[in-house]
Structure 1
Amino acid sequence: MTHDGGLRLHMQRVLRAPRSVVFQALIAPQELAKWWGPDGFTIPSVESDLRPGGGYRIAMQPPEGDLFYLVGEFLEVDPPERLSYTFRWEDPDPEDRETVVTLSLRDIDVTGTELVLSQGDFATERRRALHEEGWTQSLDKLERLLSSA
């Protein structure tokens, strides 16, 4: 459900890897754990039931502080071009609410994939900006991971 004026995040990134490889990095727990989260975070566990209606739970360990969890449900799983899921924190901040993330992949040439990320609607601009920073750092890590493969 979107409405005009909703706070949404849109990002695009060109990755030097085929769509099938990029999609695998988005869904395979052992791959996801290598790049997910802002700089300095580690991902001790990823539980995933990859199908529409299936759930996921990602443990995130910040450099300082307590472990916390991201949870959600897959809405659309269409390899290798589209992945959509709900995104919410266990024990959310009062400014947080469940959002929907959609990742679309498109071939650019033989070696490249365009990743388009959309997420929303956010409750506040501050939360949108936080997610933009987190995704930017995560996608930077993903880009490095794929270019070293």
Structure 2
Amino acid sequence: MENRPGDLRLEMGHVFPAAASEVFEALSEAEWLARWWGPVGFSIPNLTFNARVGARYRIEMQPPSGGPFFLGGELREVLRPLKLSYTFAWEDPDVDDVETLVTLVLRAVVGGGATEVALTQGPFRTEARLALHREGWTDAFEKLERLMTIRA
């Protein structure tokens, strides 16, 4: 059975070694986002992110070579420290890019000071764009986990 474009959603989870309040801060505060956002090798020279419903955000991503990429969107839901949701759109998008909705749901892991983050993002137009975002989120979450481990 072939997926229709509206069915292409990224779903993944990651466990971080910190309390939900700390993880939520890392997912929603500009100072933290600048330290972990994006794939390995990318830096964040500039970003605006204010975690309040209706606020617009913009992130500049600098790859190891070439010019920067820009993305932005609007905060849709902010339930500290349980849930964060926002739209995600590339500026000057690829022909296969569409605005997606990112939702991050945080849940304390029983028995030990860790938090699971369940991420959903979509819908995507193509499997290739979904895969690109899966790789980016995987790298970014691994970077964040390392930062949180150092902080602990």
TM-score, with structure 1 as normaliser: 0.95
Q: 4+ residue stretches of structure 1 with deviation over 4 A?
A: none
What is the total number of aligned residue pairs between the two structures? 147
The residue aligned with 1:56 is 57
| Letter in structure 2 aligned against 1:148 | I
SS at match of 2:67: coil
Q: CA deviation at 1:5?
A: 6.0
SS at match of 1:80: coil
Q: How does 1:1-149 map to 2 (within 5 A)?
A: 6-109=7-110, 110-149=112-151
Q: CA deviation at 1:49?
A: 3.1
RMSD: 1.3
Deviation string, structure 1 residues 87-109 (Cα, Å, up to 9, x no partner): 00010000000000000000113
Gaps of 5+ in 1: none
* Alpha-carbon distance in 2 for matches of 1:4, 1:63: 31
| Letter in structure 1 aligned against 2:116 | E
* Alpha-carbon distance in 2 for matches of 1:32, 1:49: 11
TM-score, with structure 2 as normaliser: 0.93
% same residue: 53
| Letter in structure 1 aligned against 2:143 | K
| Letter in structure 2 aligned against 1:30 | E
